Structure 1
Amino acid sequence: MCCAGVICPAPGYCVSGAAAAAACPDGEFSPFDGGRGPQDCRPCFAGLYCMGAPSGGPSGASSGAPSGAFSGGPSRSLPGAPWGPPASALLGAPPGAPGGGRRGAPGGPQRASGGGSQDGGAPKTPVVGPCQAGYYCPEGSSSKGDTSLRAPPGSFAPEGSPWPQFCRPGTYTSAAAAAECLLCPAGFYCDEAGMSLTPVSGAAAPKACRVGMYCPEGSVFHKNCPPGTINAFPNGETLGDCLPCPSGFFCQYEETNGPTGRCKAGYHCATRSTSMAPQEIDSFGNGPCPAGSYCPEGTASPVACPAGTFQPSLRAAEKADCLPCLAGWYCEYEGLTKPTAECSPGYYCEEGQQQQQQQQQQKQQPQQQQQQQQQQQQQQQRVDFIVLKVYFSCRLKNIMV
């Protein structure tokens, strides 16, 4: 039988005439010392579980107290959560406080011994603590991991959770009862809260990155491959999966899985070209066809005009745009923007002449040239003499006849 001056310990209660404290029912506890009956039992705080504990109150994080619970000297738990009970409500008054003192200390009020039960049976073992990670414990919970209270797919519940929380965008869960969310896998994006690989009603699965895109790990939204690149395959993970636009083509827009078209005649597209007719040479070597060259449609690199021709202008589109070397000049090399030089005295250069050919056919000493001219004149004189001789012979025959 409880005696005067003996305090009934929390979280049990002591009815009049009881020899020991009685335990509150599972899922309840008495939040303060001096409980007088079942009416002083309160539902276990959300985030905790209570299994008939006569010798200790709930411990761990609390997200709120039930209606009517002790509220003096409040202490905060989770940000934005309701006020929880003070430590003194669970542990008794601190030493030196009115009515305080250590349990069993001489001169202070004594606490009744715990361990009794209301029905007079064996004492209940105190089992009180935070809810198991992956599960949530609403107010009045008596189990730390009730299978019916698992965090559903798309949500998570750290230890001591009063309720599950949706995974934020950019994260997901692979199954139920998750203690934390995982980063959205590379090649996918998670643009909604509460996404899961095992979706239930109202929960979506991570979305695959489409062609023309890439999605690093933890992506909330997909990233488009920039202009000048393409990605022909889904589930791209990094910018490196966006391949350079192929040579001879241009890729004008972002988020494409193939080239926009072929490079225009008069221009060359080396790689990563964003225009069919790049007007200036860029860092990737794309630009207008340079002088001395020509560029048909789809040209990756300019084609040099052949020797014996030259091209002084930009944007030549075909070989016919290469101009023949001027008469009296020679064009020795390919890719010339102007003739190499004028023919030297004593030489002649026909239209389209190359110097190498000129040197092989026309280069002779002046004396040799004079002798050759004399020989040609002598031959011509012989021919003329023979012609005259034949002519006069015919006339003479006619006269005699």
Structure 2
Amino acid sequence: MLIELWNRLRWMASQKVKELTGNFSTAADCNMDCKTCCLIDCDKGHYYTAGNCLECPVGFYCPGGRAAPRKCPVGTANQLTAQADIMACQACPDGYMSSETRAGCLLCPDGYSCDQHSGLWKSCNPGQYSPEGELECRVCPQGYVCPDGRNRQHCSAGQEPDPNYTHCVTCALGSLSTKETPGCQPCPAGHFCPDGFTAPPCPAGSFKPGEQFCKSSDSSCLSDAAKELQEESLSSNTELEI
């Protein structure tokens, strides 16, 4: 009676293991503790752990037997369970990186350059930027500054980017810029540029000799209108310095 019960228990254990997609056998002196002596050969797409055959998780592939799950390579992902070979790991599209779990692909975040082969992300340097989904950092576009490698800021009228594209600087005297221009431009002929962002025409009877103010056509003195603008500009600059 005891022998029959023992054989029955062993048969039930073998059926349970078969349900877990593996082939079951026991050593000659095996008891019913499958964690120690049951011999299980898991089917492909499954892996062995603690006496059981479990379905291979997403992000991995499982060749079967008693092998552990194998993680998909960097730059690939697998969103399906019970996959048996590396062909289940699909390359991420351009602009995407594989997630840490390899269960999916993520867009390269803005402000970073991304290496699909190594899986490394590197922040862009100041003066550069990178939109989401771009793998390489770009030089900050004309008329903009990129102070932190991520955000782009358009310079205001009367300003232009510094040579490193990290902050805006005021236009030099005798030049101007608007929101439509990429940088400071020389003041146009027949106009004067007292503040870096406006260019009113020279008053009648005066001309602009390559400076920010107009001069009288019959002397080297500034015209009255130009003098007033110069005084206003100097007063404004003094207040800013204070």
- Judged with a 3 Å threshold, the aligned counterparts in structure 2 of structure 1 residues 194 and 319 are, in CA distance, closer, same or farther, namely closer
- Judged with a 3 Å threshold, the aligned counterparts in structure 2 of structure 1 residues 318 and 171 are, in CA distance, closer, same or farther, namely closer
Please name the residue that 2:23 is paired with.
52
Q: Which structure has the greater CA radius of gyration?
A: 1
- Judged with a 3 Å threshold, the aligned counterparts in structure 2 of structure 1 residues 119 and 269 are, in CA distance, closer, same or farther, namely closer
Q: Aligned equivalents of 1:152 and 1:302: distance in 2?
A: 61
Please name the residue that 1:250 is paired with.
160
What is the letter of the counterpart of residue 225 of structure 1? C
Please name the residue that 1:263 is paired with.
171
Question: Does structure 1 residue 294 correspond to structure 2 residue 213?
Answer: no
1:2-401 matches, within 5 Å, as: 51-52=22-23, 128=43, 130=45, 131-138=56-63, 141-142=64-65, 149-151=70-72, 155-159=76-80, 160-163=83-86, 170-176=95-101, 178-195=102-119, 204=120, 206-236=121-151, 241=152, 243-251=153-161, 256-259=165-168, 262-271=170-179, 273-278=181-186, 288-289=187-188, 291=190, 293-296=191-194, 299-303=196-200, 310-311=204-205, 313=207, 317-319=211-213, 321-323=215-217
Percent identical among aligned pairs is: 21
- Judged with a 3 Å threshold, the aligned counterparts in structure 2 of structure 1 residues 207 and 233 are, in CA distance, closer, same or farther, namely same
- Judged with a 3 Å threshold, the aligned counterparts in structure 2 of structure 1 residues 190 and 157 are, in CA distance, closer, same or farther, namely same
- Judged with a 3 Å threshold, the aligned counterparts in structure 2 of structure 1 residues 245 and 185 are, in CA distance, closer, same or farther, namely same
Q: What SS class does the counterpart of residue 294 from structure 1 fall into?
A: coil
Q: Aligned equivalents of 2:26 and 2:40: distance in 1?
A: 14
Q: What SS class does the counterpart of residue 182 from structure 1 fall into?
A: strand
What 5-or-longer segments of structure 1 have no aligned partner? 1-22, 27-48, 54-116, 196-203, 279-287, 326-330, 336-401
What is the letter of the counterpart of residue 157 of structure 1? N
| Bigger strand fraction | 2
CA contact (8 A) 2:207 2:217 kept: no
> CA shift at 1:125, angstroms?
11
- Judged with a 3 Å threshold, the aligned counterparts in structure 2 of structure 1 residues 315 and 244 are, in CA distance, closer, same or farther, namely farther
What 5-or-longer segments of structure 2 have no aligned partner? 1-13, 33-38, 46-55, 227-242
Please name the residue that 1:346 is paired with.
none
Give CA-to-partner distance per residue, 1:113-144, whole Å, 9 cap, x none: xxxx798999x999746343221223xx236x
CA contact (8 A) 2:206 2:214 kept: no
Q: Aligned equivalents of 1:311 and 1:231: distance in 2?
A: 45
- Judged with a 3 Å threshold, the aligned counterparts in structure 2 of structure 1 residues 270 and 218 are, in CA distance, closer, same or farther, namely closer
Following TM superposition, where does structure 1 have runs of at least 4 consecutive aligned residues deviating by more than 6 angstroms?
117-122, 124-127
- Judged with a 3 Å threshold, the aligned counterparts in structure 2 of structure 1 residues 275 and 315 are, in CA distance, closer, same or farther, namely farther
Q: Aligned equivalents of 1:150 and 1:162: distance in 2?
A: 11
What is the letter of the counterpart of residue 155 of structure 2? C
Please name the residue that 1:98 is paired with.
none
Q: Aligned equivalents of 1:315 and 1:268: distance in 2?
A: 16
Q: Aligned equivalents of 1:155 and 1:315: distance in 2?
A: 65
CA contact (8 A) 1:211 1:234 kept: yes
